[in-house]
Structure 1
Amino acid sequence: MGTSAERTGLPDTEGISALPADVPAWRVLLSYVRPHRGALLAGGVLSLATAASGLVLPLVVRELIDNLGSDGPVAELVAAMAALVLINAAIGALGSYVLHRTAESVVLEARHHLIGRLLRLRLSAVERHEPGDLMSRVTADTTLLRVVTTDSLVGGVTSVLALAATVVMMGLMDLTLLGVTLLALAVAVVVIGLVVPRIHRAARHAQESVGVMGAALERMFGAFRTVKASGAEDREGDRLRGAASEAWRASVRAGKWEAVAGNTGGLAVQAAFIAVLSVGGARVASSAIEVGTLVAFLLYVYYLMPPVNQLASAVTQYQVGAAAVARIQEAEALPIEQLGPLPRATDQPIPSPPPRLQPTGTTSAPAAVTFDRVSFRYDPELPVVHDEISFAIPPGGMTAFVGPSGAGKTTVFSLIERFYEPDTGHVLLDGIDVQAWSLTDLRAAIGYVEQDAPVLSGTLRENLVFGAPGATAEEVERALRTTRLSAMINALPDGLDTTVGHRGMKLSGGERQRVAIARALLRRPRLLLLDEATSQLDAVNEAALRDTIAEAARTTTVLVVAHRLSTVTLAHRIILMDAGQVRAIGTHRELVTNSPLYAELAATQFLATAG
């Protein structure tokens, strides 16, 4: 059947919930494995059965040695030994497979859950973290859950039980030799206890170093052309090699302490073997025990090696896993968007979902936008971006936002989309605070073309229908004609199935911008936000797009951040912003006459960029 994630392709968070960042690592691990407790129990039982079948073997060996001296049956005991060995191997193989499969399932669901969280992160949270480091938490950190699930949780429990059973069997044979064995093991416990904190610190540093390296790689590939054009390959290479070297040093440091802990257990067992052989030999010589008993006891000492090593590995791997869990919890503790209305929203009725595309092909009613004394800053330490700005935009038509760089024009769009929340005041859509809208319904009503017009890795078709996966072939073709992309796509061997490369590197700046515009138009939005949508277009394509925007403004509310006079003059109204405030509102003719700032922009910035 598979999990719900396998059936639907959506992140499967069943059985896993976000826990506070200060929750102990073992509780987080238990939350991951709880949905798989049945499979883990089966794997643990098989592991215990493997250990139990191994504990019987020394008893058969003792009987065999005793029979060799008394002419007792031998063939049957040899056959029993062979059968025990085969059964032990078969049960051990099955148990290892069950545990490995379960551990992979734990990693899968942890990744599904973390991916679901990261996709819902607030924009401000993403901007404060390196994307490469967040990627590392989904890939490298979650991978460590595989080992910690089998080695630490199941391996730790089974090794303790196997160790206890072995010690009981040894005690039934000879308490003196048991005391010698436990003394050697106690020394190992003390050494491992001293090493464990060092393993945790080194493992955490190693994971953080891997995250830094991932961030450096993302930084380099994110601006690959700039790196090459600037001749900065060697400098970026030094940065990457430095990050890789630091990750190596941290991992080696962790490995050093893991090696100390792991070999301490083995050394203790070997010391116990030598001590038991010496003391046991003396006891055999004094006739305190039989030779068969000594041989069986030595076999039990030998059988201590796997559970002792496994227990030492469980302790060390738990420290590694705890470091990874801490980083995963840090990512899960980042603030996420709330899909429903926000608690601090006004007590206005929650709107029904906005109408979608009608069968006739017409868009639903255009939206009205109002800013009511909105103040906002990106961070408490940063300057104010909006200082109690207010304006009202009626449904339909085109409104242009103009002003010097840094005036807060793009931030208007971010507040409408609810990428950020205003510090004070209200942003209203159709007279209802956007915080009272379901986030899904709000963004379904909006088409947005960002300033840098990002294009995702994949095909042109995938990019075009990214915001409207149900778009028909006719609608796609109409959008291509509108944005003057038809000729370019017809010239490509694979047409719409042509791959665009990482961040659309195979497309020109103007082509990426037109793809982004076509993507927004395919949504047939009630509100269309265009942030400098013509900045990378040539004169011919810009003129065509202006006609498209003018046509869209008849049935949709269009808001444009514009720096070109040819675009600004088409607007039904212009909102002039400067230093976080609205300085003037009016048509081009009115503002040229009544606003010295606008007249200056029209005579310098607009005309310069338009010309």
Structure 2
Amino acid sequence: MSQAAAERSGRADARKRVGLPALVPYLRDHRGILAVVAVLSLVGAGASLAQPLLTRAVLDGIGAGRSVAGVVGLLVVLLVAGAALSGLRDYLLQRTAEGVVLDTRRRLAGHLLRLPITEYDQRRTGDLLSRVGADTTLLRAVVTSGVFELVTGSIMVVGATVAMLLLDPLLFAVTAVGVAAGLVIGLVFARRIRGLSREAQTRIGEMTSTIERAITAARTIRASRAEERETAGVTGSATEAYDAGLRVARLQALIGPASTTAVQGSFLLVLGVGGARVANGAISVGDLVAFIMFLFFLVLPLGQALRAYMQLQSGLGALERIEEVFELPVEGATDRPAAAAAPAAGVAPAVAPAGTGATGAPALEFDRVGFGYAGGPPILHDVTFAVPPGTRTALVGPSGAGKSTLLSLVERFYEVGTGTVRLAGRDIRDLPRAALRAQLGYVEQEAPVLAGTLRENLRLTAPGATDAQLYAVLDEVNLRGIADRSPEGLDVQVGEGGVLLSGGERQRLAIARTLLAGPPILLLDEPTSNLDARNEAALRRAIDAVAVRRTLLIVAHRLSTVVDADQIVVLDRGRVVATGTHRELTESSDLYRELATHQLLVS
């Protein structure tokens, strides 16, 4: 194992371990069916344990010359009933297990989608996907082959032990020595299964992350002729997962033969000692046959219980990884007590600007805001400016000045380090996040397009939008051609990540999606970064149209898109260095004049 892998394994061992009580919440919603399964298990165990006694009665009756037809009939009934009960129990267990997996995946998906953005920054996507997929699958085995096989096996073991002890204490003593030896050997090995299983699941998560990384960047990898290197990286991760799985397999392979040898030895001893006792008249043939049948009812459930214990250990290792996700606080868990919720934006194409009314407060206000990403240096320093309602404010400056970070703070993807951001005069930390974001339309710099249809992408922000509204917003951003050029119309596929669209079309689709929700404030991060001159002009006209009814805060590298903004805020190294209109800044700000000169906006 590599040093890095060893360190990861050490961190895994130091994590919180969970026990059987941690399974209770996962089974709580299925307690009705589980109660039926428990009853079926008890009845089935009783039917099985009665069979050796009936067999003894048949043998003894035949030896004494009595009729045994009734006993044989009862024995057949018990055999058939036991098989039917076992089949029904197994079906109900499988159904419950599938339900547990479904519920867990649903909860995990909901929890993962509500984690703070900082968690996505720090964790690998593939590992999180592995917890939803591979780890939850192991919970199925915990329910079907773990908990209930342990319970059922325990019932059978106790019943068989009592019956064997009553039939012949001496034979029971002979049996107990061999069985106990096999059980101890199995438990000693099985105790290591949990740690090894967790390690194997962790390696699978790392392998999934590596594959996800390679597939996501497939075009870049091919263009860089890096297929072999990336394949080697995936192979390395897969090899680590293989090695971890092999360690589990080796341990499991040792448990079976060691336990079986001890049990078979006890069986041979019972045959030898029992035969001698039959010969000297201490017990009857019927007693010996019944004892041997009880021995099988003891040994087989013990073997099942041991395998169930190993399954349980593997499942608990996976459950630890699942519980780690559930223990992560979701976004908003540490919010201040929420004030009255702000009204949510609807689907309507026009909404009154935020901040209007009696208060006269700015739509957005940054008051001495400071911020730095976790573990990194400060990004913003004492940023102060206001965005009046119904106006356009542009953020410009060199790359890394902190422009996009300001939009992330408004959306509360991250919390301000110092200072305050206000919406219509209220600290955004005093607003419920859903109410805050209902007032904001946010278009990212690299706005994602979801795999699916054009209609599905547009309705992401407005699930109740009509086709007429969809076409109207496509017209606003000069994107109607996507629907018109295909006979499928709004149901045309856009491909994984929008690969069937151009870069400019993906950007405009993201803007259309945001406009459709009708928020009073638009946050646009480089809205024209992927547009040619023609589409940039069309989008500028669309922005001009919506700006009449909304407040806009725009991050721009192309100053041509914001020269007519009501206010331009110039940022440099996380600080506001100038504020004004285009004409004012070309005269008062050296940095802005330099940016404008490079883009041929001033001579």
TM-score, structure 1 as length reference: 0.92
Cα distance, 1:607 vs. partner? Answer: 4.0
1:311 — aligned with what? 305
Q: How does 1:60-459 map to 2 (within 5 A)?
A: 60-338=54-332, 342-343=335-336, 350-354=340-344, 356-357=346-347, 361-367=349-355, 368-379=363-374, 381-459=375-453
Q: State the distance in 1 between where 2:596 and 2:426 align.
A: 35
2:8 — aligned with what? none
1:371, 1:390 within 8 Å by CA — same for their partners in 2? Answer: yes
Q: State the distance in 1 between where 2:48 and 2:89 align.
A: 14
Cα distance, 1:538 vs. partner? Answer: 0.8
Q: State the distance in 1 between where 2:191 and 2:295 align.
A: 29
2:571 — aligned with what? 577
- Residue type at the aligned position of 2:589: S
Q: Secondary structure at the match of 1:484?
A: coil
1:355, 1:364 within 8 Å by CA — same for their partners in 2? Answer: no
Q: State the distance in 2 between where 1:245 and 1:395 align.
A: 58
2:4 — aligned with what? none
Q: State the distance in 2 between where 1:248 and 1:23 align.
A: 24
- Residue type at the aligned position of 2:61: N
Q: State the distance in 2 between where 1:307 and 1:62 align.
A: 21
2:519 is equivalent to residue 525 of structure 1 = yes
Cα distance, 1:440 vs. partner? Answer: 0.8
1:54 — aligned with what? 48
CA separation of 1:484 and 1:355: change in aligned 2, threshold 3 A: closer
Q: Secondary structure at the match of 1:584?
A: strand
- Residue type at the aligned position of 2:305: L
Cα distance, 1:228 vs. partner? Answer: 2.2
2:60, 2:286 within 8 Å by CA — same for their partners in 1? Answer: yes
Paired residues, what number? 582
Q: Secondary structure at the match of 1:558?
A: strand
Once the two structures are superposed, residues 73-114 of structure 1 have per-residue CA deviations (whole angstroms, 9 ceiling, x without a partner) of 133333333222211111110111111111111111111211
Cα distance, 1:487 vs. partner? Answer: 1.9
Cα distance, 1:263 vs. partner? Answer: 4.4
1:534 — aligned with what? 528
Bigger shift: residues 483-492 or 571-580: 483-492
2:504 — aligned with what? 510
TM-score, structure 2 as length reference: 0.93
CA separation of 1:574 and 1:373: change in aligned 2, threshold 3 A: same
1:555 — aligned with what? 549
Cα distance, 1:355 vs. partner? Answer: 5.2
- Residue type at the aligned position of 1:370: E
Q: State the distance in 2 between where 1:547 and 1:355 align.
A: 23
- Residue type at the aligned position of 2:289: V
Once the two structures are superposed, residues 349-380 of structure 1 have per-residue CA deviations (whole angstroms, 9 ceiling, x without a partner) of 5453245355xx5312234000111111111x
1:200, 1:320 within 8 Å by CA — same for their partners in 2? Answer: yes
Cα distance, 1:155 vs. partner? Answer: 1.4
- Residue type at the aligned position of 1:162: M
Determine what percentage of the aligned residue pairs are the same residue.
45
In structure 2, runs of 5+ residues without a counterpart are 1-14, 356-362
Once the two structures are superposed, residues 110-151 of structure 1 have per-residue CA deviations (whole angstroms, 9 ceiling, x without a partner) of 112111111110000111111111011011111111111222
CA separation of 1:460 and 1:356: change in aligned 2, threshold 3 A: closer
2:31 — aligned with what? 37
1:398, 1:550 within 8 Å by CA — same for their partners in 2? Answer: no
Cα distance, 1:23 vs. partner? Answer: 6.6
CA separation of 1:362 and 1:76: change in aligned 2, threshold 3 A: same
2:345, 2:517 within 8 Å by CA — same for their partners in 1? Answer: no
1:203, 1:254 within 8 Å by CA — same for their partners in 2? Answer: yes
1:575, 1:586 within 8 Å by CA — same for their partners in 2? Answer: yes
Q: State the distance in 1 between where 2:244 and 2:384 align.
A: 54
2:394, 2:555 within 8 Å by CA — same for their partners in 1? Answer: yes
1:261, 1:316 within 8 Å by CA — same for their partners in 2? Answer: no
Q: State the distance in 2 between where 1:132 and 1:401 align.
A: 35
1:5 — aligned with what? none
Q: State the distance in 1 between where 2:173 and 2:600 align.
A: 94
1:371, 1:428 within 8 Å by CA — same for their partners in 2? Answer: yes
Q: State the distance in 2 between where 1:78 and 1:263 align.
A: 36
1:262, 1:312 within 8 Å by CA — same for their partners in 2? Answer: no
- Residue type at the aligned position of 2:517: R
CA separation of 1:306 and 1:173: change in aligned 2, threshold 3 A: same
- Residue type at the aligned position of 1:503: G
1:14 — aligned with what? none
Q: State the distance in 2 between where 1:271 and 1:505 align.
A: 66
Q: State the distance in 2 between where 1:141 and 1:466 align.
A: 29
Bigger shift: residues 417-426 or 495-504: 495-504
Cα distance, 1:255 vs. partner? Answer: 2.1
Q: State the distance in 2 between where 1:567 and 1:550 align.
A: 10
Cα distance, 1:286 vs. partner? Answer: 2.2
Q: State the distance in 1 between where 2:246 and 2:42 align.
A: 33
Q: Secondary structure at the match of 1:560?
A: strand
Q: Secondary structure at the match of 2:576?
A: strand
2:594 — aligned with what? 600
- Residue type at the aligned position of 1:375: G
- Residue type at the aligned position of 1:582: V
Q: State the distance in 2 between where 1:572 and 1:221 align.
A: 44
Cα distance, 1:344 vs. partner? Answer: 7.8
Root-mean-square deviation (CA, aligned residues, Å) is 1.9
